[in-house]
Amino acid sequence: MKVETGNRNARVEKGIEKLIIPYKELIFIYPASGPNTYINVGNEIESQGLIRPTAEETAYLLHSTYFDSDVKDTIEFKEIKDIIKNRWLWEFTRQLWTPKGVYIYDDRKGKEKDEKHLKDKLGSKEVNHVVYSDDNTLRFVPRQFIRLGDCSPSDLAISPYIQARQSGEEGAEKLADISKIFKNNTRVFGLIVNESTQRVSALYSYWYGDRLSVDGVSFDGGSFGGALGVYN
């Protein structure tokens, strides 16, 4: 007798490996997606039923990676250090650079947002001060408050641009702590533009000597980045 074959919904389920981060009840799923482009890594994370990690959440992950003695020497956290050392760690926080400053917004869904949408969401016509949206998913920093180039840990912690990128003072302080791991001061990358320009965010340490690079001007085209999805 012939046995009918085809898709009958058989499956193998294996346990997922969770990295529990003791800040804001964050759970990341190991291993990392990538190496691939920003968009492809984000899509892979979403296809696994996970959430793209923001710059703030990535800082919390790295803080445990470098400082939590119970886990920092495990293979999982060593591999996160390896991404920082040899590739890019994508942060799903997009940046729209404009002549007046930068809009920084969390990119949970992998969708670019135009300047009109961002202005309307902020509900503020003023562009001469730092503005956060009510839900904290969108921030605007005027040009005069953005410090680029080499920054000490203390500079990072109080920088309005870094605070906005990290969704607040606590995230900026975590990033400042991480920067102390490296020999040289952190290098912060941004743009001075004559017209609005969309970019994505990444962290890495393998260029420009032994230093943390905080990059807000990355293109999606780089195919060597990675990220860990956040468990919802």
Under the banding of pLDDT at 50, 70 and 90, the label for residue 139 is very high
pLDDT value for 5: 53
Q: What letter represents residue 85's amino acid?
A: K
Under the banding of pLDDT at 50, 70 and 90, the label for residue 104 is very high
Under the banding of pLDDT at 50, 70 and 90, the label for residue 32 is very high
pLDDT value for 4: 57
Among candidates 78, 110, 73, which has minimal Cα distance to 94?
Answer: 110
The per-residue pLDDT for range 206-222, each reduced to its tens digit, is 877 899 999 999 988 78
pLDDT value for 175: 98
Type and span of the H or E element at 29: strand 26-30
Q: Match 């791991």 to its residue by tokens.
A: 181
Q: Is 144 helix (H, G, I), strand (E, B) or coil?
A: helix
User: In 87-106, which positions are buried (b, 16+ CB within 10 angstroms) versus exposed (e)?
Assistant: bbbbbbbbbbbbeebbbbbb
Q: What percent of the chain has pLDDT over 90?
A: 82
- pLDDT of 153 > 60? The answer is yes
Domain ranges for the chain? 17-227
Q: What percent of the chain has pLDDT over 70?
A: 93
The per-residue pLDDT for range 172-200, each reduced to its tens digit, is 999 999 999 999 999 999 999 999 999 99
Structure tokens at 145: 């408050």
Half-sphere exposure of 39 (CA within 13 A, CB side): 6
Under the banding of pLDDT at 50, 70 and 90, the label for residue 15 is confident
Can you list the positions of beta strands (E) in 42-176?
88-98, 101-106, 131-132, 138-142, 149-151
Total-model pTM: 0.92
Across 51-76, average pLDDT: 95
Q: How do 197-204 and 213-218 pair as beta strands?
A: antiparallel
Q: How far apart are CA 122 and CA 115, in angstroms?
A: 11
pLDDT value for 23: 86
- pLDDT of 229 > 90? The answer is yes
Across 37-57, average pLDDT: 97
Let me know how long the chain is.
232
